[in-house]
Amino acid sequence: MTLDATLTLTIARLGARGDGIADTPAGPVYVPYALPGETVRVSLPAPDPSTGRAARSSMGRADARAALIAVEHAAPDRRAPECVLFTRCGGCVTQHMSEATYGAWKRDSVVTALARAGIDTPVEPLVDAHGTGRRRVTFHGRRRQDADGVDDAVGFMAARSHDLVPVAHCPVLDPALARAPAVALDLARLLLPKGKPLDIQITATTSGLDIDVRGHGPAGEVERRVLTGAAERLDLARLSIHGDLVVERRPPGIAMGRGLVTPPAGGFLQATALGEETLARLVTEACDSAPGRIKRAADLFAGCGPFALRLAERAEVHAVESAAAALAALDRAFRATPGLRRITTEARDLFRRPLLPLELNRYDAVVFDPPRAGAEAQAREIAKSQVPLVVAVSCDAGTFARDAKILTDGGYAAARITPVDQFRHSPHVEMVGVFVRTGKARRR
Ligand SMILES: C[S@@+](CC[C@H](N)C(=O)[O-])C[C@H]1O[C@@H](n2cnc3c(N)ncnc32)[C@H](O)[C@@H]1O
């Protein structure tokens, strides 16, 4: 048997996931919770006996991951974590970094992705959009059984593991979710006897907690009655299982601009209220500062309308999205909000059936905000269009850079790229890119 090695390393830089990276003759070694300039003692798994190199990661790379034993020489930008569970819970990876180091690291992830794609537009400083905290959280619920008996727990997973770390308080959550861990545990105790692990998604809304439980399978008649009683006792606004409504005691509202939206159970929402406002502000500012007035805009991958409802204060909006329930929520909010210009909706799969140049050319501005996979097919059609202004919103730097390159190759210039941080202490970053048509569309 080969034993893990203990060694001392100097950290050279930060990796994309927030780990410190030490360069060694055997290749890079990734050290979680270590900072550039630090000397750290680590334990390194024994090398692969067949190659003598670091054990290959699941990505197939010979990157070695060490476990931090001690920081022997701390960097000046190291700070005390705000949560007692930091390093045990896998939710946060950067509570040990100063704000300046953190902001530069997140912004760099966007700069690096753009440079790889060959785009050299300057990237704005990171905009902090944590605000009052995350308005939505998903707790995992597990039944743990050992010789001492049965123990139901809710919490987050440890980093790169399926071990549950029970959580009773989480500092990145909005105060409106303060009782969310206790509520999740209460529901887990009702549902876990079925034996299946649960995901309990809890959203803070204007009328209380909105909860969607996943992993359980459809609820039977008896379970529905038990859950309806629990929703009453816990004073929930709405409770659903896999998006299937169990009870709605009050419509759960999310304010979007002048509108009040009741999103579909379990449907997409930006992580923080300030994150949504910031992304929408960058979108509307881009439209307001366009040389000509924006009279008609398309909002693609529109969700339940955070951009459409705000854009409709100045322009007619056509909102396109694959989730019909999200569009129905947007349509209801539009009809209930006086003073907006017209919003029309269209349920459409934009991966398979992107809007074509003839459709796109009706708009003065097109906004798109796809899931992580990006909007490659749609970007290719926009690149062939004459739309004067395109605003790309994204939650993935790699696919954003790819789609941005498609636009710039098609004759658009990247005017402004702004990274936005609504997932504090995680490696996730959002970005908003403003593109203006400078050259003629290239026919392909
Ligand atoms: C990142 S969310 C953005 C939603 C909205 N813009 C917001 O800020 O809340 C991406 C949206 O794309 C939608 N979507 C996913 N795949 C799609 C597809 N193939 N065609 C159209 N919309 C899709 C999802 O339902 C989701 O609402």
CATH number of domain containing 21:
2.40.50.140
- Residue 433: inside a domain, yes or no? yes
- Residue 354: in which H helix or E strand, if any? none
What pLDDT is attached to residue 1?
A: 45
416 forms beta bridges with: 434
Q: Which residues contact 225 (CB under 8 A, 6 or more apart)?
A: none
- Do residues 308 and 225 both lie within one domain? no
Do 319 and 424 fall into the same domain? yes
Residue 153 lies in a domain: yes
Domain C-terminal end among 78, 95, 118:
78
Q: What is the pLDDT of residue 57?
A: 44
Same domain assignment for residues 376 and 399: yes
Asked whether residue 342 is domain-assigned, the answer is: yes
| Ligand 1 probe mutation, 276, 322, 420, most atoms within 8 A of CB | 322
Residue in the block written with tokens 């300046």: 100
Has residue 86 been placed in a domain? no
Residue 181 within any structural domain of the chain: yes
Q: Are 309 and 256 in contact (CB under 8 A)?
A: yes
Gap between the Cα atoms of 444 and 429, Å rounded: 32
Q: Dihedral, CA atoms, 10, 12, 14, 15, nearest 10 degrees?
A: -100
Question: How far, in Å, is the centroid of ligand 1 from the Cα of 349?
Answer: 10
For residue 191, what pLDDT is reported?
Answer: 86
Do 305 and 432 lie in a common domain?
yes
* Secondary structure tally for the chain: helices H, strands E: 9, 24
Count the Cβ atoms, other than its own, within 10 Å of residue 338.
6
Q: Checking phi first, is residue 425 left (phi over 0); if not, alpha (psi -120 to 50) or beta?
A: left
pLDDT score at 403: 98
Asked whether the beta carbons of 335 and 308 are under 8 A apart, the reply is no
Q: For 421-431, how does the pLDDT look when each residue is reduced to its tens digit (9 = 90+)?
A: 999 999 999 99
- Which CATH number fits the domain that encloses residue 120? 3.40.50.150
- 211, 227 contact by CB (below 8 A): no
Task: Please report, for residues 42, 64, 192, 280, 323, the alpha-carbon distance to residue 67 in angstroms, rounded to integers and kept in the order given.
Answer: 5, 10, 33, 40, 42
For residues 414 and 46, give the distance between their C-alpha atoms in angstroms, rounded to a whole number: 47
pLDDT at 443: 54
pLDDT at 63: 66
Is 321 part of any known ligand binding site? yes
Same domain, 49 and 159: no
* Number of domains the chain contains: 3
Query: Does residue 42 share a domain with residue 147?
Result: no
Domain of residue 421 covers 103-130+270-437
Helix-strand-coil split of the chain, %, nearest 5: 25, 30, 45
Report ipTM for this prediction. Answer: 1.00
The alpha carbon of 241 is separated from its chain's Cα centroid by a whole number of angstroms, namely 22
* 58/155 same-domain check: no
264, part of any domain? no
Nearest-10 crossing angle of helices 99-116, 397-409: 40
Q: Among 254, 287, 321, which residue terminates a domain?
A: 254
Q: Residue 279 CA: which ligand 1 atom is closest? A: 8
Nearest to 191 by CA among 162, 156, 216, 164: 216
Q: Are 309 and 217 in a shared domain?
A: no
Identify whether 208 is part of a domain.
Answer: yes
Same domain assignment for residues 426 and 280: yes
Q: Is residue 400 within 8 Å of 417, Cβ to Cβ?
A: no
| Same-domain pairing of 187 and 123 | no
Ligand 1 atom at minimum distance from 301 CA? 12
pLDDT tens digits for 3-49? Answer: 678 999 999 999 999 999 999 998 999 999 999 999 999 999 877 66
Residues 421 and 323 in one domain: yes
Q: Is 406 found in the same domain as 362?
A: yes
CB of 275 shorter than 6 A to ligand 1 = no
List, run by run, the mean pLDDT of 10-residue segments along the chain (444 residues). Answer: 80 96 94 97 81 50 82 97 95 96 97 95 96 97 81 90 93 98 95 83 98 86 93 98 95 98 96 98 96 94 98 98 98 98 98 98 98 98 98 98 98 97 97 91 56
Predicted local confidence at residue 442, as pLDDT = 58
State if residue 277 touches ligand 1 by the CB under 6 angstroms criterion.
no
